[in-house]
Homo-oligomer: A and B are copies of this chain.
Amino acid sequence: MSKPILTLTTDFGLADHFVGAMKGVILGICPQAQLVDITHEVLPFDIPQAGFLLAQAWSRFPTKTVHLVIVDPGVGTSRRPILAVAGGHTFVAPDNGVLSMIYSRHPHKVRAITAEKYFLQPVSQTFHGRDIFAPVAAYLAQGTPPARFGKLIQDYLRKDFDHPVRTGKRFWTGAILHIDRFGNLITNYNIDEFPQLTSRPFVLKAGFQAISRLVRNYAECEPGQLAAVVGSSGYLEIFANQASAAKMLGCGVGAPLELTIY
């Protein structure tokens, strides 16, 4: 029989003891867990970026994987811990919209986590990752059924960060969801929603620059030149071959991107 897989996506970074302490808690409950970091370098409190990164990785794992997602600006307030089941996987997260991209693409069931007997006592005011989310994820990986943790809810928080807003017949305002290691800007324009980008002229304004070229792969572009490409995730990416588009444009995560299609 395979070992249960448990992934972690957080904004905790790797320079603290936070991730190590959570893994200790998890292995104490579910010693056979296979732990996999998706990333811990989400920008602090950046819920859309965490939602995007999770969405790019989770479905590559085998079904029954448990995904622990903690970006939690509301720790210590009344925001609820939740668990969601979708696509044969299970997700544990604060109820702050971080799972929105999963909700909008897959049938899902969401539960409020209320069964305190699964928590680490005493629950600290500042580290629910260790005291609530990690043990719940570990018990789920261990095989405890989702229904044991709390009741189904309908009023969980949804956010719409992964769709540009239409602002006119030919105009949209989107945003940068993520900047990758290579300085590529990943936008929230998905080719499935904007198929006309492959056949019609367009202008995408980012910072002081306008991009109007869509290529098939990075190497098609001369080194240092800006263009757009359909990334491995289906989202339009702005890149500069063998250079950092982020540095060339001076844009950060969350910056607006105005699209005009002619």
Contacts and interface: CB of A to CB of B under 8 A. Distances in A.
B34 A7 contact: no
Contacts of A56: 17, 21
Interface in A161-219: 178, 180-182, 216-219
Contacts of A75: 217-219
Contact of A35 (B19, B36, B77, B182): B36
A125 B216 contact: yes
A11 B181 contact: yes
Given A21-B56, A38-B17, A44 B182 contact: yes
A134 to B, nearest CB: 9
A60 B25 contact: yes
Q: What 5 A-B pairs have minimum CB-CB distances, sorted nearest first?
A: A76-B217, A24-B60, A20-B38, A13-B181, A127-B232
Contacts of A40: 14
A20 B39 contact: yes
A53 interface: yes
Interface residues of A, number: 69
A248 interface: no
A86 interface: no
Nearest to A52: B17
B36 A181 contact: no
A89 B36 CA distance: 24
A152 interface: no
Contact of A20 (B13, B20, B34, B36): B36
Residue in A35, A44, A54 whose Cβ sees the most chain B Cβ within 10 Å: A44
Given A39-B14, A57-B21, A62 B216 contact: no
A242 interface: yes
A17 B53 contact: yes
